[in-house]
């Protein structure tokens, strides 16, 4: 009966790892300007590899990752402000 308990604890830790990687991949994809659902799919299907993929994946130019930094401590512009400035600059060029 003790081997069953050991398998249960290992399965619980693997479940925690799987859920944490899904959450992290979802958060990373959202910060990089993509859909949270896409990151969630990567995290759920690929587990830790999905998180590594999102760390390597390039961010969109007007994403929070580019404007505020990876953890959001940059104190820079918001995404809405950056898009408004970009649209105003394009309107001036026309």
> Domain check: are 89 and 49 in the same one?
no
Q: How confident is the model at residue 54 (pLDDT cuts 50, 70, 90)?
A: very high
Question: From CA 35, how far away is CA 51, in angstroms rounded?
Answer: 14
Could you tell me the residue range of the domain that residue 17 belongs to? 1-58
Q: Which residue's structure tokens are 């309107």?
A: 91
Please report the pLDDT score of residue 28 as a whole number: 96
Residue 6 Ramachandran class (φ > 0 left, ψ -120 to 50 alpha, else beta): alpha
Q: How confident is the model at residue 13 (pLDDT cuts 50, 70, 90)?
A: very high
Q: List all residues 6 or more positions away from 55 whose beta carbon is below 8 Å from its beta carbon.
A: 28
Query: pLDDT tens, 82-94?
Result: 888 888 888 888 7
Are 45 and 10 part of one and the same domain?
Answer: yes
- Are 51 and 70 members of one domain? no
Residues 7 and 34 in one domain: yes
Structural domain count of the chain: 2
Q: What is the pTM assigned to this prediction?
A: 0.78
- The H-or-E segment that residue 54 falls in is helix 48-56
């Amino acid at each position: 009966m003790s081997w069953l308990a050991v398998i249960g604890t290992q399965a619980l830790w693997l479940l925690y790892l799987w859920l944490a990687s899904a959450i992290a991949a979802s958060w990373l994809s959202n910060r990089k300007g993509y859909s949270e659902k896409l990151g969630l799919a990567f995290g759920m299907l690929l587990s830790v590899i999905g998180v590594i993929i999102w760390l390597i994946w390039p961010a969109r130019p007007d994403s929070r990752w580019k404007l505020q930094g990876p953890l959001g401590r940059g104190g820079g512009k918001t995404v809405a402000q950056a898009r408004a400035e970009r649209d105003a600059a394009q309107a001036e060029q026309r």
